[in-house]
A and B are shown apart, each in its own frame.
Chain A
Amino acid sequence: MSNVISVSGVTKRFGRTRALDGLDLEVRAGEVHGFLGPNGAGKSTAIRVLLGLLRADSGTVRLLGGDPWKDAVELHRRLAYVPGDVTLWPNLSGGEVIDLLGRLRGGLDRDRKRELIERFDLDPRKKGRAYSKGNRQKVALVAALASDAELLLLDEPTSGLDPLMEAVFTDCVAEARERGRTVLLSSHILAEVEKLCDRVSIIRDGRTVETGTLAELRHLTRTSITAELAGPPDGLADLPGVHGLRADGGRVTFEVDDDRLGDALARLAARGVRSLTSRPPTLEELFLRHYRDGDARTANGSTRTAGGDARPVDGDARTASGDAR
């Protein structure tokens, strides 16, 4: 399968801040690709690089076989975009904005527009200033989904939507996939990601920390173990790959890296196991770990000597204020 989006080693600085710091991203044709990461990780910056609104400082970016900076106009005929925070012109009605964006992309299917407006329960006659956040989001969604674009770039598209409308959105994206569209979906809503995404990429501090199918990601991680032992769990805490050990009498709970699972089980067996439960991590645990443990990962995994002085600005600020005190 060919890649619709292929990003490698992209960096983007804003003054002293490194918004993107060696980002890699591969989105295959026909898939719904989840794009996850904590606030400020660089998701929106990455999408704006893909749109050719920002120019990458280094690295390569290919989108639909072209260079998004140089071939922006040609590429934009084939994609539709929903920003995370939609702002509308205060004196234009929602219907007018949908028509404007549709016509700029080369025409718009009136029946499809009407159908989407109905499904999203949107009043297209209201002026831009009169819409709530959720309704502004709907205007951008209808404009994007009514287009016949082969690639949809959606930046937290459901922020501000009620659960009913989220369900409508989920259906629409599923339909788009059935029609062979490719979707890059940046989102914080795990249920949405789990339901829609074929593969996900998780980014932190401007770089990709994990990418793959959800099954692969789960597999690559830790397993939670709860066991009742005959004796005290001596030595278990020192075992490599064991995290968060808590012992309460003979009962222990911990997490273990999957490649160390065998060693841990052998150690448990030596202590006399009375009962044992193990379960894969929930999606929440998976994401929380990637969102939180990024620092350790980056520090360990990095061989860049320049890494130290290229820390994000907030790190610098903290150091600076610490010195001041």
Chain B
Amino acid sequence: MTGTGSLVRLILRRDRLVLPLWVLLLAVLPITQTAGIAELYPTERGLREFAASFGANPALVAMYGPFTHWNAAALGVWRAGFTPVLLGLACLLTVVRHTRVEEETGRRELLGSTVLGRQAGLSAALAVAASANLAVALVVLASFAGPGYPVAGALATGLGYAATGMVFAAVGAVAAQLTESAGGARAIGLSALGVAYLVRMAGDSTGASWLSWLSPFGWSQRMRPFAGEVWWPLALSLAAVALLSLAAYALAGRRDLAAGVLPPRLGPADAVPGFGSPLALAWRLHRGPLLGWSAGFAVFGAVVGAAAKAAADTMAGNARLMEMMARLGGSANVADVFVASVMSIFGMGAAGYAVQAALRMRGEETLMRAEPLLAAPVGRARWMAGHLVFALLGPAVVMLVLGVAVGIAYGASTGDVAGRLPGVAGAAVSQLPAVWSLAGLAVALFGLLPRLTALAWAALALFLLLGQVGALLDLPPAALDLSPFSHLPKLPGGEVAATPLLVLTAIAAALVATGLYGFRRRDVG
């Protein structure tokens, strides 16, 4: 443990911007939702109606967890139900970043030769994660206690978040011991996170609610903040943190520096015959994420599709809700509205994948891996084209997989696969023009302003925010129209409007062309 303190300071120095940023952003999400709801529904009657309509929506229950109470704070925390997932993700990535990544790059070796305990790296990463989670809990507590919401509920919310965050920090610590590559460790950790979320989703949206007790996300939700707090599920999270951390320390103590518990595999001595073009290389680099996103979308799509009919049945009895949803989704068919709203959320996800795939080019460039190809007889445009295939067609594949998964599951539940599938798949594909315009933005930034490619992520975050809370915050339509997603027709069920789809596609094409033009004229590196 010697030297842990110095390593903690090193981590805080390196993450001095990014760490406070996610701590603050995630910690204020529940109070933002609560404040928005409280402003929109100042009366008890309004709140009760809002709660009755949204809390009965099985899709929202599947996504956010079971609905607990109609008061504004409970509703806000419920609507911010995705926060623990994002927090878990941030903690997991932070721990891997400061353990396995350090080893893989050889930096830990340099530090390890100084007066530094064997477990100092792991301890420092976990200590930083614990401090960040504690900070999240404190900010949540202060943000609710300040305006006068009950302290117990604020505490339960904050501690629930922190506990979930710590569980996934510990998951990251274990994953970091297993593989030699940071990518492998991240994949293991993310799979664990995905499974935990799916298990909770399955538990909350089917009758088998015991399933939710198997997931860390379920534990923190069952603390029932602002709805008669229950404290003992916190013990489950703490026990899981303790067990996982012990496992991580035991594994770390047994292995060599930079080695993994799972043995690395050798590759082939010769490449397969077709491996000799920028496109073939791009396939090798992009196939992992493409398969991962496709698998994820297939599973989530099937769950959502299966829940669609149940959602429709539940809502069918609620005339007021039907009316509201029809306004919102542009269709009187509740199941269609449900599917349409889910599609736009997945569309944002696919846009995230598209930006990630497009910015792979920047990663290859800064890691000096573009150089050997561009020093071979490969033109800049041809090199880019290999990556663009995946940045543009990858999201198309992923959305098509989603559409088919939702369509089959939804069709199966209504006994009409052939009737449902085309409309649902079409709805999924109709998201693509908006997805492509974000990919295009990333490509244009790469070509013209390579140092500012992170702006593509900022744009996606902005559009996500506009889509999620824009209507709630009563923003002017002009602001909401900034997001390409706001221009998409509401499918299935709504009118198919070709113009916005064509315009968005044209914008995307122009942005991609700009990126190609810029990259062919600028310095590489």
The chain A residues found within 8 Å of chain B, CB to CB, are: 48, 51-55, 72-74, 76-77, 79, 81, 83, 85, 87-96, 99-106, 124-127, 129-130, 140, 153
Contact yes or no, B271 A54, CB < 8 A: no
* Contact indicator B523/A93 (Cβ below 8 Å): no
Which chain B residues lie closer than 8 Å to A125 at the CB level?
A: 266-269
Closest Cβ neighbor of B375 among chain A residues: A81
- Starting from the known contacts A124-B270, A125-B267, A129-B181, 19 additional A-B residue pairs (CB-CB under 8 Å) come to A48-B525, A74-B377, A81-B372, A81-B375, A89-B285, A91-B181, A92-B284, A93-B267, A93-B268, A94-B267, A95-B270, A96-B268, A99-B275, A101-B376, A103-B276, A103-B277, A104-B277, A127-B266, A130-B180
By DSSP majority rule, is chain B's interface helix, strand, loop, or mixed? loop
Instruction: Assess the B524–A54 pair: CB atoms within 8 A.
Output: yes
In B377-405, which residues have CB < 8 Å from any A CB? Answer: 377-379
Q: List 10 A-B contacts (CB under 8 A).
A: A55-B523, A76-B375, A79-B375, A90-B183, A93-B268, A101-B376, A104-B378, A105-B376, A124-B270, A127-B265
**A100 with B271: CB separation less than 8 A:** yes
For A88, list chain B residues within 8 Å (CB): 369
CA distance A274 to B279 in the complex (A): 76
Given contacts A89-B369, A90-B181, A95-B271, contact A51 B374 (CB under 8 A): yes
B374 contacts across to A, CB distance below 8 A: 51-53, 72
Is there contact, CB below 8 Å, between B525 and A96?
no
Chain B residues within an 8 Å CB radius of A124: 269-270
How many residues of chain B are within 8 Å of chain A by beta carbon? 36
Give B127-151 as 1s and 0s: 1 = Cβ < 8 Å from A's Cβ atoms: 0000000000000000000000000
A85 to B525, CA, bound (A): 13
Q: Which of B266, B278, B369 contacts A87 (CB 8 A)?
A: B369
In angstroms, Cα B269 to Cα A96, docked, is: 7
Chain B residues with CB under 8 A of A99: 270-271, 275-276
Contacts of B376 in A (CB 8 A): 76, 101, 104-105
Is B115 engaged at the interface, CB distance under 8 Å to the other chain?
no
The 3 closest A-B pairs by CB, nearest first: A93-B267, A103-B276, A99-B271
Least Cβ distance of A81 to chain B in Å? 4
Other-chain contact of A85, B183, B275, B368 (Cβ < 8 Å): B368
User: What residues of chain B lie closer than 8 Å to A126, measured between beta carbons?
Assistant: 266-267
Distance in angstroms between the alpha carbons of A106 and B523 in the assembled complex: 25
Among residues of A, the one whose C-beta sits closest to the C-beta of B265 is A127
Given contacts A87-B367, A125-B267, A126-B267, contact A100 B276 (CB under 8 A): yes
B104 at the interface (CB under 8 A from A): yes
By a CB distance below 8 angstroms, the chain A residues around B378 are 73, 76, 104
The docked-state distance in angstroms from the alpha carbon of A48 to that of B524 is 9
